[in-house]
Amino acid sequence: MKVLVDIRLMFVRKMKETLRNPIYILSSLLTPILYLALFAPLLKNLIPNTTNVLNVFVPGLLVIIAFLGGLFVGYNMIDEVRNGVVERFRVTPTSRFALLAGRVLRDMVNILVIVTVFVLISLPFGFRPDLGGFFVFVPLLCMMIITTSSFGNALGLILRDEDRLSPIVQGINLPVLLLSGMLLPMELAPTWLQVIAHFNPAYYVVEAGRLLVAGHITDIKVGEAYLFMVPLTILVVTWATRAFRNAIA
Amino acid sequence: MTENVVSTVDLKKYFTSRKGVVKAVDGVNLSVAAGQVFGFLGPNGAGKTTTLRMLNTLLVPDSGQALVAGFDVLKDPGAVRCRIGYVGQSGGSDRPATGREDLVLQGRLYGMSKAEASSRAAELIDLLDLTDFADRIVYTYSGGQRRRLDVALGIMHRPQVLFLDEPTTGLDPQNRANLWKQIGKLKATGTTIFLTTHYLEEADILSDYLAIMDYGHIVAEGTPQQLKRQVSLDTIRVTLGDPAQNPAAAQVLEGLKVVKSSVLEQDCLRISVDNGEAALPQVMKALDGKDIAISNISLSTASLDDVFLEKTGRSLRDTEAEGGDR
């Protein structure tokens, strides 16, 4: 299959880029580690009925790592558009889907490495995830990465300008984070805020993540998160592939 | 009869901007014969790049037909892509990779095996003099080095036709001359080269055949020689060692078939000829035969700028500052 070969070639190309500059992975860990060290201790007295604060807090951080890791890839895309790399590939018979998928897969590998390292760091702080539950959580994180990375890449390709990309990704970034319940559970929020949160994919994944880490694999909210994320991922990937097909870049 | 590698019929592309409709390409008919360097000359914004992007499948024409390497760009873009190479204005080499890696990747994208791609990459590194830096990261390349890699990427899969969009823009004179040399080498391998440029000398030196575009139309085409001869004659200026011999010299020159007319301007004989390069040795020989000593002789040929001026009513040099690329 030509498309699989192309995806592999594009993935290897981007992966080499990461391996040449692995500092990126370390720098992505800094923010969540600061949250873990300087914010998590505040939660102990705030969240009622919880024996393990980190089991509530770490899943939220993992969703944030996944969300931000994908959202900001548009800048790299703009770089490549400007250097003519995208145009060069689009003149070859390379599958358009592969042009997107190779990048998204690389982002997924990068971010999963960061997630793994962060989980390992959290263990000595007291994070105690249910192993089975955690493995049901990982596909949700992957879908989060695929969605945001596809979105970020397509946005970079369409806008082709950092000054136009910035307000959009920043405008998405903060509301999604605040409404995800990542810092504090949304149960503490007034009703209207909870209603708005239900339109936020990150909210579902954070909620499901907390339940899964606590071992509640069969909870209805886990199903909800999958029900929300699967169609969203398909939708965004389809849209992004179309952007790669049509772009004049 | 030579086969056409590129041919278009009434190709059109309009863009709608806030100011209204821009007729970027407005009915272009082109034929590019196999094996030649086809120069596409025009000021920035003339529609050269837009035309090129329709030919290389990046842009869908509004109307008209374009056949490239035997396939219709609209009906079978995949087949066209397999047979063409393209080097855009911004190049296309991947900055964080090494030149060699990028070449191998390019070959693999065209379906070559790893071994095939590696040996072809080695061949091109040799051909385009990339050896010194092929295994360095592209970020470290100079503009001229990157340009050569870009060209190598464009011909990795031995395309029938290579499209070069303003390949020497931004290069210093030395690198420009170097790239011209490389383009000459490519031509020798039998690759048809379709080249856009807004540099007159470049179009003149490189092209076997030339089309001049302005405001979305082809305003003139032919070999550089044909085009120049359409508008003016070449001029030879002769200054003699002994001005007293001027009348005798004029008489000799009038007798030559190649000389259209000769005028004495101060101490200099100004001779108009059809083809200066061919006439120059004849003039020298004729004067020498009569023992008339030449102290100075010079040839000025008609320039493409004269052609452009005649066809569009303005000088190409004046238009360079206008507008952006599209």
Each residue's pLDDT tens digit, A86-128 = 999 999 999 999 999 999 999 999 999 999 999 999 999 999 9
Q: B77 falls in which pLDDT band (50, 70, 90)?
A: very high
Q: Is the pLDDT of residue A1 over 50?
A: yes
- Residue A48: the pLDDT is 65
Tell me what pLDDT residue A154 has: 95
Q: How many CB atoms lie within 10 A of CB B228?
A: 23
Residue B13 contacts residue B27 (beta carbons within 8 Å): no
Output the pLDDT for position B321. Answer: 46
Please give the pLDDT value at position A50.
66
End-to-end CA distance of chain B: 35
B214 with B122, same domain: the answer is yes
Q: Indicate whether B85 and B190 sit together in one domain.
A: yes
| Token couple for A203 | 């909210």
User: A1, A188, A13, A148: which is closest to A86 by C-alpha?
Assistant: A13
Which chain A residues contact residue B109 at CB under 8 A?
Answer: 6, 9, 89, 92-94
Per-residue pLDDT tens digits for A208-231:
999 999 999 999 999 999 999 999
Asked if pLDDT for residue B163 goes beyond 50, the answer is yes
Q: Which chain B residues are within 8 Å of A77, Cβ to Cβ?
A: none
Residues of B with CB under 8 A from a CB of A: 53, 56-59, 78, 81-82, 84, 86, 88-97, 101, 105-106, 108-111, 137, 150, 153
Structural domain range at position B53: 4-228
At residue A64, does pLDDT exceed 80? yes
Report the alpha-carbon distance of residue A26 to residue A114 in Å, rounded.
8
What's the pLDDT at B272?
80
| pLDDT for residue B193 is more than 90 | yes
**B316 part of a folded domain:** no
Whether B316 shows a pLDDT value over 80: the answer reads no
Instruction: Mention every residue, 6+ apart, whose C-beta is less than 8 A from residue A48.
Output: none
Q: Is the pLDDT of residue B299 over 50?
A: yes
Give the pLDDT score at B229.
77
With beta carbons less than 8 A apart as the criterion, state whether B276 and B234 touch: yes
Q: What tens digit of pLDDT does each residue of A185-205 get? A: 888 899 999 999 999 999 999
Chain A residues touching residue B86 (CB < 8 angstroms): 87-88, 91
- CA separation for the pair A26, A49 (Å, rounded): 34
| Same structural domain, B238 and B217 | no
Higher per-residue confidence, B309 vs A59:
A59
Q: How far is CA A239 from CA A108, A201, A232, in A?
A: 19, 17, 11
Tokens of A70: 């994908």
Residue ranges of domains in chain A: 2-246
Question: Which residue on chain A is closest to B105 by alpha carbon?
Answer: A9
Q: Are B179 and B171 in contact, with CB atoms under 8 Å apart?
A: yes
Q: What is the distance between the alpha carbons of residues B88 and A93, in angstroms, rounded to a whole number?
A: 16
Q: What is the CATH number of the domain that holds B240?
A: 3.30.70
Within a 13 Å sphere around the CA of B193, how many CA atoms are in the beta-carbon half? Answer: 28
Tally of structural domains, chain B = 2
Element (H, E) at A193: helix A191-197
The chain-wide mean pLDDT, for chain B, equals 88
The stretches of chain B forming alpha helices (DSSP H) are 48-55, 77-83, 99-109, 114-127, 143-155, 173-188, 200-206, 224-231, 246-254, 276-289, 304-312, 316-319
| Helix residue ranges, H only, A72-190 | 74-82, 85-91, 96-125, 131-159, 162-178
* Together in a domain, B174 and B108: yes
Distance between B219 CA and the closest CA of chain A, angstroms: 27
Q: Inspect the interface and report whether the beta carbons of B105 and A21 lie closer than 8 Å.
A: no
Q: Are residues B105 and B239 both part of a single domain?
A: no
Determine the pLDDT at residue A16: 96
Please count the other Cβ atoms lying within 10 Å of the Cβ belonging to residue B254.
11
A88 to B92: CB separation less than 8 angstroms, yes or no = yes
- Specify whether B106 is located in the same domain as B218: yes
Please give the Cα distance from B37 to B41 (Å, whole number). 12
- Give pLDDT, residue A60: 94
Please give the share of chain B, as a percent, with pLDDT higher than 70. 96
pLDDT score recorded for residue A74: 94
- The C-alpha of A138 sits at a distance from chain B's nearest C-alpha, in angstroms, of 30
Q: Which residues contact B276 (CB under 8 A, 6 or more apart)?
A: B234, B235, B236, B299, B300, B301
- DSSP character string of A57-89: HHHHHHHHHHHHHHHTTHHHHHHHHHTTHHHHH
Side-chain half-sphere exposure of A216, counting CA atoms within 13 A: 12
Do B107 and B125 belong together in one domain? Answer: yes
Asked whether the predicted pLDDT for residue B265 surpasses 80, the reply is no
B221: nearest Cα among B24, B18, B52, B42:
B42
- Quote the pLDDT of residue B317: 64
How far CA B280 is from CA of A185, A203, B274, B303, in Å, comes to: 91, 84, 11, 17
Residue A93 is nearest to which of B58, B81, B88, comparing CB atoms? B81
- Find out whether A204 and A219 touch, Cβ atoms under 8 Å: no
Share of residues in chain A with pLDDT > 70 (%): 97
Question: Does pLDDT of B176 surpass 70?
Answer: yes
- Nearest CA to A96 among A2, A231, A232, A236? A2
In which band, very low, low, confident or very high, does the pLDDT at B252 lie, cut at 50, 70 and 90? confident
* pLDDT, chain A, mean: 92
Residue B308 DSSP label: H
Residue range B54-83: mean pLDDT, rounded? 94
Per residue in A65-86, pLDDT (tens digit) is: 999 999 999 999 999 999 999 9
Say yes or no for a CB contact (<8 Å) between B81 and A5: no
Q: Do B110 and A89 touch (CB under 8 A)?
A: no
Contact B82 A93 (CB under 8 A): yes
Are both B38 and B171 inside the same structural domain? yes
User: Is B314 domain-assigned?
Assistant: no
The residue behind tokens 């929300």 is A228
User: Over 90: is that where the pLDDT of A13 sits?
Assistant: yes
- Give residue B280's pLDDT: 86
Determine the average pLDDT of the residues in B86-101. 95
CATH number at residue B41: 3.40.50.300
**What pLDDT score does A44 carry?**
78
Residues B290-325 as b/e (b if ≥16 CB within 10 A, e otherwise) read: eebeeeebeeebbbbbbbbbebbeeebeebeeeeee
pLDDT band, residue B326 (cuts 50/70/90):
very low
Contact A247, A157 (CB under 8 A): yes
Higher-scoring residue by pLDDT: A170, B228: A170
Mean pLDDT of B20-28: 92
Instruction: Please compute the mean of the pLDDT values over residues B195-223 and round it to a whole number.
Output: 91
3-class secondary structure, B32 = strand
* SS3 assignment, position A244: helix
pLDDT at B323 over 50: no
User: A16 and B96 in contact by Cβ < 8 A?
Assistant: yes
User: How far is residue A54's CA from residue A36's CA, in Å, rounded to a whole number?
Assistant: 8
Report the pLDDT value the prediction gives residue B113, as an integer from 0 to 100. 96
- Residues of chain A with C-beta less than 8 angstroms from the C-beta of B84: 91
pLDDT in tens, A21-59: 888 888 889 989 999 999 888 887 776 666 788 999 999
Residue B58 lies in a domain: yes
